């Protein structure tokens, strides 16, 4: 039986590998081949967390308000950096700057999520819920191949917490 927090960790590992692969991408074609799927995966992952996981954390976590506020702010910073990268030619200095910003924000966020929100969620969500959300997570990815039908917009943290708490 899958656990949604394990599926999240799988994605986090993929993000770390993706950014590391960029270090070895020597030309524009190689950089684009790594970056475009990585950026899309980052976007879909944040959207999946916001739709499927954080609403449940908000209702039962011990420090859910602060953890959710931090997560939405971080997701916004990652979305902004991805959008900025999209405004520049792959491989240009401005593109690398934006990609590096996405990498830095993402690395900080993964650590916070793995050491804060996810432990809180595991402590307060039973196995059935974690398994049910894992199914929802997999279905979400299946229903939105390559992000089809999704929009990746920044969210106001306070409004998100109000609407989902
Ligand atoms: Fe995550
Ligand atoms: Fe996240």
pLDDT in tens, 62-108: 999 999 999 999 999 999 999 999 999 999 999 999 999 999 999 99
Residue 75 alpha carbon to ligand 2 centre in Å: 6
Q: Tell me how long the chain is.
A: 165
- Which residues sit with Cβ closer than 5 angstroms to ligand 1, an ion? 113
Ligand nearest to the Cα of 78, by number: 2
Note the pLDDT of residue 91.
98
Which residues of the chain fall below pLDDT 70?
A: none
Residue 110 alpha carbon to ligand 1 centre in Å: 6
Residue 45 alpha carbon to ligand 1 centre in Å: 6
Residue 51 alpha carbon to ligand 2 centre in Å: 11
Query: Cα-flanking dihedrals φ and ψ of residue 139, to 5°?
Result: -65, -40
Which 8-state DSSP code applies to residue 146? G
Give the whole-number percent of the chain exceeding pLDDT 90: 99
Residue 48 alpha carbon to ligand 1 centre in Å: 9
Percent composition of the chain: helix, strand, coil (DSSP 3-state, to 5)? 80, 0, 20
Which of 46, 58, 48 has its CA nearest to residue 161? 58
Query: Cα-flanking dihedrals φ and ψ of residue 156, to 5°?
Result: -80, 120
Place of tokens 């900025």: 84
Ligand nearest to the Cα of 5, by number: 1
Residue 46 alpha carbon to ligand 2 centre in Å: 5
Number of H helices, E strands in the chain: 8, 0
């Amino acid at each position: 039986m899958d656990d949604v927090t394990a599926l999240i960790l799988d994605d986090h590992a993929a993000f770390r590998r993706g950014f590391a692969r960029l270090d070895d991408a020597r030309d524009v074609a190689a950089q684009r081949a790594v970056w475009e799927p990585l950026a899309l995966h980052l976007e879909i992952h944040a959207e999946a967390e916001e739709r499927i996981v954080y609403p449940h954390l908000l209702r039962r976590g011990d420090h859910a308000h602060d953890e959710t506020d931090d997560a939405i702010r971080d997701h916004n910073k990652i979305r902004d950096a991805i959008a900025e990268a999209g405004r520049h030619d792959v491989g240009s200095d401005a593109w690398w700057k934006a990609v590096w910003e996405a990498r830095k924000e993402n690395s900080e966020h993964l650590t916070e999520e793995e050491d804060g929100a996810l432990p809180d969620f595991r402590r307060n969500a039973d196995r059935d819920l974690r398994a049910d959300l894992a199914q929802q997570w997999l279905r979400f990815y299946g229903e939105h191949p390559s992000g089809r039908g999704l929009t990746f917009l920044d969210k106001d943290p306070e409004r998100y917490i109000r609407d989902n708490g």
